[in-house]
C-alpha cells in the first residue's frame, strides 16, 4: 500500500464523508454482480448496474427482486423489496457512473477485459471515486498499472451469496492509498460486512490461501486411504465448523491454550502434505464432467431432488449462520457483558 497520499487527501478535502446510502456502480451482472447489487440496495444505496450481455441485463431485475424478498423474509431488509428495487438502474452506458462514489467491477475473470473496464470507468467518474475489483486471483497491483489514479484502485473480494455473507476482503495494491483503504472498509461496514484488510495483494488473499491449504490436506487424507470423503467432511464440520464462526485461528488458540499448539506443530507440520500438484481425485471428478450439485455429480452423487434440497438448505444455513455471526461480532469479548454493565450503572 502507498503511504499517506497527499493528492488523495487534497481531492477529498472539504467533502462530506458519506458512508450510508451511497451511489454505487456495478459492472458485470452475473452470479456475483446480481447479489452484490441486492446487498447494496439493501443498505440504502442507489445502484447503477452494467453488463454487455442482454440476457444478463434482462435477468437482473427479477433475480435481484427475488433476493430482496428473501432478505425481507429473513429480517435483513428494512424497506419494501419493490421500493428498494426502484433505486436500481440498468444500463450499457458507462457515463451513467459519473456520479458514483464507488464502482465495483465484477465481470468475467479476464485481465485484459478488466483493464479495459477500468479504463472506461476512470474516463467517466470523478477523481475521488473508489474503483474496486472483485477479482479472485488477479493481483490488484497489476490492475492498477496504467490507471489514471491508481491510488483509488482497490480489491473488494466478495463471497457468495453476497447479499447474505459477512465476508469481505479489502485488498491493497502497491499503489492503493491508506485513505482509499479506510474508505473501502467504512463502506463495507455500511453494507453489513465485517471486512478484513489485506495489506499486500498476495495470490488467494487470506481466506482462499488458508482454505486451499485445508483442501490440499483433505485430498491427501482421502487419497492416502486415511479416511473417506464422507468422514473428512464429518470431522471438519464438527470440529472447525463448531468454532470458526466464533473465533479465527488465533483467538481460538488463545481460548484453548497456546503452548499445546506449539508442541503439536513441531511434530505435525513436517507430516502435512506440501504437494504442488492438483490432486488426482479432483482431476478425475472434473474430467468426467462432474461440477457438483449443478450436474448432480461431484464428490457425491445427487438425485434431482437432493441437488435442489442441498442448494436450498445451504442458502437457509447462510441466513442462520449470519444471525449467529451478528450475535458474536469479532470484538464480542472486548465488550462488557450486558448484565454487568447494567449492574454497574445502578
Ligand X SMILES: NC(=O)c1ccc[n+]([C@@H]2O[C@H](COP(=O)([O-])OP(=O)(O)OC[C@H]3O[C@@H](n4cnc5c(N)ncnc54)[C@H](O)[C@@H]3O)[C@@H](O)[C@H]2O)c1
77-106 binders of ligand X (CB under 6 A):
106
As a whole number of angstroms, the distance between CA 77 and CA 82 comes to 11
SS3 107: coil
Any contact of residue 40 with ligand X (CB under 6 A)? no
- Contact status, residue 52 vs residue 69, Cβ threshold 8 Å: no
SS3 104: strand
Any contact of residue 33 with ligand X (CB under 6 A)? yes
Smallest distance from ligand X to CB 50, Å:
6
Kindly state the number of chain residues that form the binding site for ligand X, as judged by CB under 6 A.
24
Radius of gyration, alpha carbons of the chain: 22
141-180 binders of ligand X (CB under 6 A):
157-158, 160
* The three cell numbers locating residue 249: 485461528
Any contact of residue 294 with ligand X (CB under 6 A)? no
As a whole number of angstroms, the distance between CA 63 and CA 29 comes to 10
Q: CA torsion sign, 231 to 235 to 236 to 242?
A: positive
Q: Which stretch binds ligand X (CB under 6 A): 2-10, 26-34, 173-181, 266-274?
A: 26-34
Q: CA torsion sign, 70 to 236 to 253 to 249?
A: negative
Contacts of residue 47, defined as CB under 8 A and 6 or more positions apart, other chains included, come to: 23, 24, 25, 26, 37, 40, 41, 87, 88, 89
Any contact of residue 28 with ligand X (CB under 6 A)? yes
Residue among 53 and 123 whose Cβ is closer to ligand X: 53
Smallest distance from ligand X to CB 59, Å:
9
- Contact status, residue 171 vs residue 140, Cβ threshold 8 Å: yes
Residue among 113 and 227 whose Cβ is closer to ligand X: 113
As a whole number of angstroms, the distance between CA 119 and CA 111 comes to 12
Per-residue DSSP letter, 301:
B
Alpha-carbon dihedral of residues 274, 275, 280, 282, nearest 10 degrees?
Answer: 60
Q: Which position's Cβ is nearest ligand X?
A: 30
Smallest distance from ligand X to CB 167, Å:
10
Smallest distance from ligand X to CB 110, Å:
7
Smallest distance from ligand X to CB 137, Å:
7
129-148 binders of ligand X (CB under 6 A):
134-136
Residue among 51 and 128 whose Cβ is closer to ligand X: 51
Of the residues 2, 24, 27, 143, which one makes contact with ligand X according to CB under 6 A: 27
Of the residues 1, 22, 26, 29, which one makes contact with ligand X according to CB under 6 A: 29
What are the beta bridge partners of residue 46?
A: 23
Residue among 27 and 67 whose Cβ is closer to ligand X: 27
Tally the C-alpha atoms within 13 A of residue 249's C-alpha that lie toward its C-beta.
6
Of the residues 52, 185, 221, 229, which one makes contact with ligand X according to CB under 6 A: 52
Smallest distance from ligand X to CB 162, Å:
9
Smallest distance from ligand X to CB 105, Å:
8
* The three cell numbers locating residue 87: 433505486
How many C-beta neighbours within 10 Å does residue 29 have? 27
Of the residues 93, 109, 119, 320, which one makes contact with ligand X according to CB under 6 A: 109
- Contact status, residue 105 vs residue 134, Cβ threshold 8 Å: yes
Any contact of residue 56 with ligand X (CB under 6 A)? yes
Smallest distance from ligand X to CB 306, Å:
22
Of the residues 113, 124, 247, 325, which one makes contact with ligand X according to CB under 6 A: 113
Smallest distance from ligand X to CB 160, Å:
5
List residues near ligand X by CB under 6 A: 27-33, 50-53, 56, 106-109, 113, 117, 134-136, 157-158, 160
Amino acid at each position: 500500500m502507498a503511504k499517506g497520499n497527499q493528492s488523495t487527501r487534497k481531492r477529498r478535502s472539504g467533502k462530506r464523508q458519506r458512508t450510508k446510502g451511497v451511489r454505487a456502480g456495478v459492472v458485470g451482472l452475473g452470479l456475483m454482480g446480481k447479489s452484490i447489487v441486492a446487498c447494496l440496495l439493501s443498505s440504502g444505496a442507489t445502484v447503477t448496474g452494467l453488463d454487455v450481455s442482454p440476457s444478463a441485463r434482462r435477468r437482473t431485475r427479477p433475480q435481484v427482486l427475488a433476493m430482496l424478498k428473501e432478505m425481507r423474509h429473513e429480517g435483513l431488509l428494512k424497506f419494501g423489496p419493490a421500493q428498494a428495487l426502484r433505486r436500481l438502474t440498468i444500463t450499457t452506458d458507462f457515463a451513467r457512473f459519473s456520479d458514483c462514489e464507488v464502482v465495483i467491477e465484477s465481470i468475467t475473470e479476464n485481465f485484459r477485459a478488466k483493464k479495459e473496464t477500468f479504463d472506461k470507468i476512470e474516463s467517466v467518474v470523478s477523481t475521488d471515486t473508489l474503483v474496486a475489483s472483485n477479482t479472485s486471483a488477479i493481483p490488484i497491483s497489476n490492475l492498477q498499472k496504467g490507471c489514471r489514479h491508481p491510488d483509488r484502485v482497490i480489491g473488494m473480494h466478495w463471497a457468495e451469496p453476497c447479499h447474505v455473507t459477512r465476508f469481505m476482503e479489502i485488498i491493497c495494491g502497491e499503489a492503493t492509498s491508506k485513505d482509499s483503504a479506510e474508505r473501502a472498509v467504512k463502506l463495507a461496514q455500511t453494507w453489513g460486512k465485517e471486512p478484513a484488510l489485506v495489506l499486500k495483494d498476495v495470490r488467494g488473499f487470506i481466506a482462499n490461501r488458508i482454505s486451499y491449504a485445508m483442501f490440499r490436506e483433505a485430498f491427501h487424507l482421502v487419497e492416502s486411504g486415511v479416511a473417506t470423503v464422507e468422514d473428512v467432511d464429518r470431522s471438519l464440520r464438527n470440529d472447525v465448523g463448531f468454532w470458526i464462526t466464533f473465533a479465527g485461528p488465533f483467538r481460538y488458540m488463545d481460548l484453548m491454550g497456546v503452548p499445546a499448539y506449539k508442541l503439536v506443530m513441531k511434530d505435525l507440520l513436517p507430516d502435512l502434505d506440501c504437494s504442488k500438484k492438483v490432486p488426482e481425485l479432483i482431476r478425475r471428478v472434473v474430467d468426467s464432467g462432474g461440477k457438483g450439485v449443478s450436474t448432480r455429480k461431484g464428490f457425491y452423487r445427487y438425485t434431482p431432488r437432493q441437488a435442489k434440497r442441498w442448494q436450498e438448505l445451504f442458502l437457509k444455513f447462510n441466513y442462520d449462520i449470519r444471525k449467529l455471526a451478528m450475535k458474536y461480532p469479532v470484538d464480542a469479548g472486548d465488550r462488557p457483558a450486558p448484565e454487568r454493565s447494567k449492574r454497574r450503572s445502578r
